[in-house]
């Protein structure tokens, strides 16, 4: 992939879903349920620096 050509290492992570469909429906933002996936970044403690790229930045 293009990301693998640019970066030394690209880590794919499993999706974390809030499963809070009631509140997400109330906000009319069901896509926000998977925003917990970003929490995986805090487990990358073996790196001195880390770049997180969300889908809307690509």
* Pair 10, 1: CB distance under 8 Å: yes
Q: Is the pLDDT of residue 56 over 80?
A: no
Residue (of 8, 15, 2, 6) closest to 48 by Cα position = 8
- Dihedral of alpha carbons 53, 20, 16, 46, sign: positive
Q: Is the pLDDT of residue 3 over 90?
A: no
Question: What is this structure's pTM?
Answer: 0.56
Q: What are the extents of the domains in the chain?
A: 2-50
Q: Which of 2-6, 48-52, 53-57 has the lowest mean pLDDT?
A: 53-57
Kindly report, residue by residue over 9-52, the tens digit of the pLDDT: 888 888 899 999 999 999 999 988 898 888 888 888 998 988 88
pLDDT at 22: 95
């Amino acid at each position: 992939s293009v990301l693998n050509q640019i970066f030394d290492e690209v880590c794919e992570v499993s999706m974390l879903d809030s499963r809070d469909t009631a509140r997400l429906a109330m906000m009319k933002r069901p896509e926000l349920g998977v925003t917990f996936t970003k929490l995986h970044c805090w487990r990358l403690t073996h790196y001195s620096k880390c770049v997180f790229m969300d889908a809307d930045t690509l």
